[in-house]
Amino acid sequence: MKERLFFSQRVSVALLVALGLIAVLAPFSADTKMRALGFGLDPQRPLHSFIFNGEPMPVEARKVGIYGGFALATLWLAWRAPRAERLARPAGYIAAVAGIAVMGFDGFNAFFYDLGVPHLYAPRLDVRLGTGLLAGLGMAALLWPIWGATAWAPPRTAVHARDFLVPVLLSAVVFLALVTGQAWLALPIAFIATLGLVLIVAMLNAVPILVLHKRESLAVNWADVLDGMTLAACLSVLELLILAGTRYALIGTTPLP
């Protein structure tokens, strides 16, 4: 493994610490920094966002669900089932796809509503949030085993339904906190959602990075993939900022209709 490292473990840790310090010490409010990081992929429309103290959250309701649910599930699985390469039962794949499909159905219904064409129901923030959480959990269930099969050397494990109990319960807490107007939790939840966005992009970066560098199925501990994960995380932040900058250059800060 050593001859295939992108950079040393010390450099990896230093880069991650530097990335964290930049995020914390940048001379902007936490709300502004989260808006900037998600601006390229999140329309950030006030009517699609929960409002607290007269200000919309920096992440739209549906995106809070998608990114937040993904973050909660992925962080838990990293501890509970780090070496998972598959879901234990076919029903797990069905449930994951169903969660994503429910969110897609609600999204199309909202799109038809916006167009003024026939639709089944008027969009609601709580439905956007709830279906987004289902989709985020489903995405984590599908992507985490792909990461595990790519990174870890045998023997590998499976993800069981019980491994999702805690992420589901935490997702329920997020849902109840926002729909009941718990303003003091809005910023931490927005942070979790923003972290989830970075994790999604980082995971999508990490798999091809390991494959192209011929590092697949070689890791025996987290140190073996720390450099690849660090590179993927740095790339994800850079890509998100490029997307945000491109959108800003095209339309400024005007929210999408």
114-131 confidence digits (pLDDT tens): 899 999 999 999 999 999
**pTM beyond 0.85, yes or no:** yes
Q: How confident is the model at residue 71 (pLDDT cuts 50, 70, 90)?
A: very high
More confident: 1 or 109: 109
Token pair of 14 as six digits: 């230093």
The pLDDT of residue 59 is above 50 = yes
Q: Predicted confidence band at 171 (pLDDT cuts at 50, 70, 90)?
A: very high
Residue 72 in this model has a pLDDT that exceeds 80:
yes
Residue 214 confidence (pLDDT): 85
CA atoms 238, 243, 246, 251: torsion sign: negative
**Cα gap 8→62, rounded to integer Å:** 39
What mean pLDDT is predicted for residues 35-46? 92
**Percent of the residues in the chain that have a pLDDT greater than 90, as a whole number:** 82
Helix locations, the chain, DSSP H: 9-25, 30-38, 61-80, 90-115, 125-151, 165-179, 186-212, 226-251
- % helix, strand, coil for the chain, step of 5: 70, 5, 25
Whether 140 contacts 81, CB under 8 Å: no
Query: Looking at the predicted structure, is the pLDDT value of residue 63 above 80?
Result: yes
pLDDT-derived band at 255 (thresholds 50, 70, 90) equals: low
Q: What pLDDT does 257 receive? A: 55
- Average the pLDDT over 168-191 and give the result: 97
As a whole number, mean pLDDT of residues 219-230 equals 90
Question: If you search the block for the tokens 């900058």, which residue do you land on?
Answer: 245
Task: Summarize the confidence of residues 141-167 as an average pLDDT.
Answer: 95
Q: What angle do CA 206, 154, 205 make, to 5 degrees?
A: 5
- Helices 165-179, 61-80: inter-axial angle, 10-degree rounding: 150
The strand pairing partners of 158, in sequence order, are 86
Q: Which residues lie closer than 8 Å to 184 by C-beta, 6 or more apart?
A: none
